[in-house]
């Protein structure tokens, strides 16, 4: 398989060669058509002038001398012929003689018509353009005025400079080839680099980038490649983080359970500690179960392609979620202020929306101080859930929907979250063509804005 | 339908193979016949200087000769067939299978001598289409003349003349003559030979050779390229020089009596009924001369190359 660069280069060279050949042919054509035509015309003029001086009868010596005199000072070869043999007068006889004119030409000339020839003339041993004018007297071809100009080919015309010309043309061809090769390399080198970068990326080096040197299509391609590489790298880093966090999250409860298990095995636990340790083991097991459930939800939602959209009375869903979370709410003595339009019907998937509300509500409950109030309201199709918690700094607000994102990097397990709740909520909302936004003031609390499409009832 | 087609086809074949026939020429009619070679035809001109018959020829005949006053032997350089046509009936009486290259024919009584310029041979034919004798000649035998015993043949592209016996074509001797010689005239004990001249040098003389020894005896100043001779009833010799378009009148001693320009590129000259006839090859006219003046001209077919005359009463 030949390289694209080679193919294009060959094509360019072919074009250049064709152009040069065409120019040669074209200049030849111009020479033939213009120069030769012009020569022919001027020869005819001369021949006519000489012919006018012929007064009939035998062609005299004076007439021949006059032609010779003209010939001396002219660049056109001119001579008068009166030898019958040269004039093909012996045509019916098989004469071993190469006459100047043939039988057909003789017939034309006798009729008083001039003859023009172009081609190889053995008499002059070269290509000539010749004009023959008759000297006719009473149907007798007494003689002819023969004019000719060597029809030198352009190459012959420039015979002295032929090597110079060939050299120039060759140099031009080499220069063209070199320039086109360099230009091609300029264009195609970034492509080769892109190829190398792609191979490097395929081998797992996601930090590979190409240098963008131009603003053309190749430059744009390089830029796009860099963007793609950055995205892949980011995704890869997220994956790495995700895996390390998941393993870290699982390792903690497992090491707890393992530690207490071994303590039991070696009878190192006293009777009065047993109950507390059982409680701890169950708590850690619950944490693991929640984490694995959330992970399952995350992977499932990634695989879900179809969403069952149906009319959903939001106020109803909110009440159901509060009911589900009642144990947590009561544990922290929280109050609820609900101001949701009972007639608000959204176009949403019921199960997904409940999941979203549960996740956000759990966060609000978790971060609300004991005895605080959680405000749930709506403005058109946007539901707001506001808590009176510690709030989140602005720099973290944009990241809180990322998996396992920790606002408090040293967050202890005591706040019980898996780090996946908001990520799941965000995913489920975008699947329903909704929007999730957060506003927060540190020390005052956080407000979550859930926007979902409104149900357009076709019967109303 | 098929039968009709076959019939038509057979008719075609019969027409194709039918004997060439022309309008007959009465035996008592005197004529000058001109063989026109550019568009092959024969024009018969009466002594009233009118064309009485035109024979359109279907092959490229380049020469002819009168045989026994009632036959015309027609041949062509590029043809491998020569024909004998009887004038009084206009019918072809014999066909000769001869090779390409026929350059000249000369008849003596019932014998026809044909020169072949391609094979450099001389063939003696009879009137029945048969070959009687064959002999080797020099390069391109052409112009011929005979006396009672011998046939004198100019080898056009060679430097000698061949002398054969008339009866059985035995080579007797050869004479040195210039190449490109053409035209023969027997003047008593002399043989006059004309010619075009070799190379770019046109010949301007008539050479006189001794008929017995073949020695060059002298030259007569003629005009450019004398190639045709004719003896008029007054005993004078008329010579046509095609290079200069002149017809010159000489005495038997070779003295110039008169000179006149006749026609364009004339090749052939003959005598007819007190006139001298000359054919202008380039102007396609046959001229009648009397007392050194043109008295008439007749337009004939293109390229009159040869003239033969018949005077029935003589």
**pLDDT of B111 strictly over 70:** yes
Q: Taking 90 as the threshold, does the pLDDT of residue A324 lie above it?
A: no
Residue A106 lies in a domain: yes
**With 90 as the cut, is the pLDDT of residue A375 above it?**
yes
What digits encode the pLDDT tens for the residues B216-228? 999 999 999 999 9
Neighbours of A226 (CB within 10 A): 17
pLDDT above 60: residue B184: yes
* Stronger pLDDT, B136 or A175, i.e. the higher one: B136
- B196/A85 Cβ within 8 A: yes
d(CA A79, CA A68): 6
Average pLDDT over residues A128-151: 90
Q: Which pLDDT does position A52 carry in this prediction?
A: 92
pTM of this structure:
0.61
Is there a single domain that holds both residue A357 and residue A233?
Answer: no
Query: Over the stretch A186-201, which tens digit does the pLDDT of each residue have?
Result: 777 888 888 899 999 8
Of the three residues A297, A331, A346, the one that is the final residue of a domain is A297
A314 and A433 within one domain? yes
- Say whether A84 and B243 touch across the interface (CB within 8 A): yes
A contacts of B225 (beta carbons < 8 Å): 84, 89-90
My answer on whether A287 and A354 are in the same domain is no
How big is the A-B interface in CB pairs under 8 Å? 63
Indicate whether A30 pLDDT > 70. yes
| Each residue's pLDDT tens digit, A33-64 | 788 888 889 999 999 999 999 988 889 999 99
Residues A19 and A147 in one domain: yes
Q: Is residue A164 part of a domain?
A: no
**Average of per-residue pLDDT values in chain A:** 85
Same domain, A282 and A349: no
* Band of residue A268 on the pLDDT scale cut at 50, 70, 90: confident
Among A53, A71, A75, smallest CA distance to A62 is for A53
User: Are the beta carbons of A79 and A146 closer than 8 angstroms?
Assistant: yes
Please check whether residue A174 lies inside any domain of the structure.
no
List CB contacts (< 8 A) between A96 and chain B. 157
In this structure, the answer to whether residues A405 and A435 fall within a common structural domain is: yes
For A438, phi then psi, to 5°, come to -130, 140
| Closest Cβ opposite residue A92 in set B37, B180, B200 | B37
Split into its structural domains, chain A has a count of 3
Residues 6 or more apart whose Cβ sits within 8 Å of residue A63 = A53, A54, A80, A143
Hey, is A78 helix, strand or coil?
Answer: strand
- The pLDDT assigned to A154 comes to 57
Is position A354 within any domain? yes
Nearest Cβ partner for A89 among B37, B263, B265: B265
CATH number of the domain where residue A251 is located: 1.10.287.130
Residue B247, classed as helix, strand or coil, is: strand
User: Taking residues A415-419, what's their average pLDDT?
Assistant: 69
Taking the C-alpha atoms of residue B138 and residue B157, their distance in angstroms, rounded to an integer, is 8
pLDDT at B81: 93
By the CB < 8 Å criterion, does B182 face chain A?
A: yes
CA distance A158 to B257: 62
Residues ≥6 apart with Cβ < 8 Å to A317: A350, A353, A354, A357
* Same domain flag for A5 and A145: yes
Residues in chain A: 460
Q: Which of residues 221-280 of A touch B (CB under 8 A)?
A: none
CATH number at residue A117: 3.30.450
Chain A CB contacts of B103 below 8 Å:
94
Is the pLDDT assigned to residue A289 strictly greater than 90?
no
A80 in any annotated domain: yes
Cβ contacts (< 8 Å) between A92 and chain B: which residues?
37, 62, 267, 281, 303, 305
Mean pLDDT for the stretch of residues B178-201: 91
- The per-residue pLDDT for A187 is 77
Reduced 3-state DSSP string for A430-447: HHCCCEEEEEEECCCEEE
Dist. CA B284–CA B173, nearest whole Å: 39
Residue A89 pLDDT grade (very low, low, confident, very high; cuts 50, 70, 90): confident
pLDDT tens-digit profile of A394-405? 888 888 888 777
The owner of tokens 């011929």 is: B144
- Average pLDDT estimate for A305-310: 81
Question: Do A438 and A314 share a domain, yes or no?
Answer: yes
Whose tokens are 């978790």? That residue is A366
- Is the per-residue pLDDT at A3 higher than 80? no
The pLDDT of residue B101: 93
pLDDT at B8: 46
Give the nearest chain A residue to B37 (CA atoms). Answer: A92
* Same domain assignment for residues A320 and A243: no
Instruction: Report chain B's mean pLDDT, rounded to a whole number.
Output: 90
A117 in any annotated domain: yes
Q: Is the pLDDT of residue A393 over 60?
A: yes
Residue A460 counted as domain residue: no
Q: In this structure, is residue A438 part of a structural domain?
A: yes
Q: Name every chain B residue with its beta carbon within 8 A of the beta carbon of A85.
A: 196-197, 200, 202, 243
Structural domain boundaries enclosing A50:
1-91+98-151
Residues A11 and A147 in one domain: yes
Mean pLDDT of A120-131: 86
Q: How many helices (H) and strands (E) does chain B have?
A: 1, 28
Closest CA relative to residue A232, chosen from A201, A253, A254, A257: A201
Bigger pLDDT: B70 vs A238? B70
CATH number of B31-223+299-310: 2.130.10.10
Q: Cα(first)–Cα(last) distance of chain B, in Å?
A: 59
Predicted confidence band at B16 (pLDDT cuts at 50, 70, 90)? very low
Give B-chain residues touching A102 at CB under 8 angstroms.
Answer: none
Please tell me whether residues A365 and A441 are part of one structural domain. yes
* In a shared domain, residues A263 and A372: no
CATH of the domain at A351: 3.30.565.10
- Report the residue of chain B nearest A59, measured CA to CA: B244
């Amino acid at each position: 398989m030949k390289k694209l660069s080679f193919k294009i280069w060959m094509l360019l060279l072919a074009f250049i060669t064709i152009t040069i050949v065409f120019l040669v042919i074209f200049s030849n054509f111009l020479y033939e058509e213009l120069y030769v035509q012009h020569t022919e015309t001027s020869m005819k003029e001369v021949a006519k002038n000489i012919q006018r001086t012929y007064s009939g009868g035998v062609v005299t010596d004076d007439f021949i001398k006059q032609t010779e005199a003209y010939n001396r000072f002219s660049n056109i070869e001119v001579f008068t012929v009166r030898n019958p043999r040269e004039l093909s007068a012996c045509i019916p006889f098989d004469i071993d003689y190469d006459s100047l004119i043939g039988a057909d030409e003789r017939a034309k000339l006798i009729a008083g018509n001039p003859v023009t020839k172009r081609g190889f003339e053995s008499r002059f041993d070269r290509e000539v353009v010749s004009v023959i004018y008759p000297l006719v007297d009473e149907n007798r071809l007494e003689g002819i005025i023969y004019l000719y100009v060597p029809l030198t080919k352009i190459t012959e015309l420039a015979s002295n400079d032929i090597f110079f010309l060939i050299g120039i043309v060759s140099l031009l061809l080499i220069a063209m080839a070199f320039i086109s090769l360099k230009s091609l390399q300029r264009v195609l080198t970034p492509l080769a680099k892109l190829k190398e970068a792609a191979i490097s990326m395929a081998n797992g080096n996601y930090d590979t980038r190409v240098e963008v040197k131009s603003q053309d299509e190749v430059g744009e391609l390089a830029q796009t490649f860099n963007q793609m590489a950055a995205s892949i790298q980011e995704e890869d880093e997220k994956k790495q983080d995700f895996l390390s966090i998941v393993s870290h999250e699982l390792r903690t409860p497992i090491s707890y359970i393992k530690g207490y298990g071994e303590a039991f095995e070696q009878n190192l636990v006293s009777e009065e500690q047993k109950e507390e340790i059982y409680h701890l083991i169950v708590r850690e097991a619950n944490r693991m179960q929640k984490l694995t459930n959330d992970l399952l939800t995350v992977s499932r939602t990634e695989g879900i392609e179809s969403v069952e959209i149906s009319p959903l009375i939001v106020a109803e869903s909110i009440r159901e979620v509060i009911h589900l979370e009642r144990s947590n709410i009561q544990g922290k003595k929280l109050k609820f202020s609900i101001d949701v339009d009972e007639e608000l019907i959204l176009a949403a998937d019921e199960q997904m929306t409940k999941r979203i509300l549960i996740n956000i509500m759990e966060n609000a409950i978790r971060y609300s101080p004991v005895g605080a109030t959680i405000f749930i309201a709506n403005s058109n199709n946007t539901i707001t859930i506001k808590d009176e918690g510690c709030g989140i700094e602005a720099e973290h607000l944009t990241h809180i929907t990322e998996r396992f994102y920790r606002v408090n990097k040293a967050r202890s397990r005591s706040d019980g979250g898996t780090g996946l709740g908001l990520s799941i909520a965000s995913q489920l909302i975008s699947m329903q063509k909704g929007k999730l936004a957060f506003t927060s003031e540190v020390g005052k609390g956080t407000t979550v804005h859930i926007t979902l499409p409104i149900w357009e009832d076709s019967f109303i | 339908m098929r039968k009709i087609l076959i019939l038509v086809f057979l008719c075609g074949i019969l027409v194709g193979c039918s004997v060439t026939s022309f309008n007959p020429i009465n035996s008592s009619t005197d004529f000058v016949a001109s063989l026109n070679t550019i568009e092959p035809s024969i024009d018969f001109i009466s002594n009233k200087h009118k064309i009485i018959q035109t024979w359109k020829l279907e092959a490229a005949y380049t020469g002819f000769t009168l045989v026994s006053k009632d036959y015309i032997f027609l041949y062509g350089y590029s043809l491998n067939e020569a024909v004998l046509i009887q004038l009084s009936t206009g019918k072809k009486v014999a066909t000769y299978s001869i090779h390409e290259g026929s350059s000249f024919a000369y008849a003596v009584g019932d014998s026809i001598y044909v020169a072949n310029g391609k094979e450099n041979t001389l063939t003696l034919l009879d009137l029945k289409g048969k070959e009687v004798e064959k002999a080797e000649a020099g390069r391109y035998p052409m112009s011929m003349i005979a006396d009672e015993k011998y046939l004198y043949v100019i080898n056009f592209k060679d430097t000698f003349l061949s002398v054969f016996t008339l009866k059985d074509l035995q080579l007797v001797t050869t004479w040195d003559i210039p190449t490109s010689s053409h035209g023969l005239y027997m003047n008593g004990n002399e043989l006059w030979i004309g010619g075009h001249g070799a190379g770019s040098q046109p010949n301007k003389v008539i050479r006189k050779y001794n008929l017995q020894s073949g020695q060059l005896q002298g030259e007569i100043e003629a005009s450019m390229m004398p190639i045709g001779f004719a003896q008029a009833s007054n005993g004078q010799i008329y010579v046509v020089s095609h290079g200069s378009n002149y017809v010159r009148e000489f005495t038997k001693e070779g003295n110039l009596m008169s000179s006149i320009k006749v026609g364009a590129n004339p090749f052939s000259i003959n005598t007819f009924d007190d006139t001298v006839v000359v054919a202008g090859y380039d102007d396609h006219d046959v001229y009648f001369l009397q007392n050194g003046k043109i008295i008439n001209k007749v337009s004939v077919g293109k390229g009159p190359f040869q003239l033969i005359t018949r005077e029935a009463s003589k």
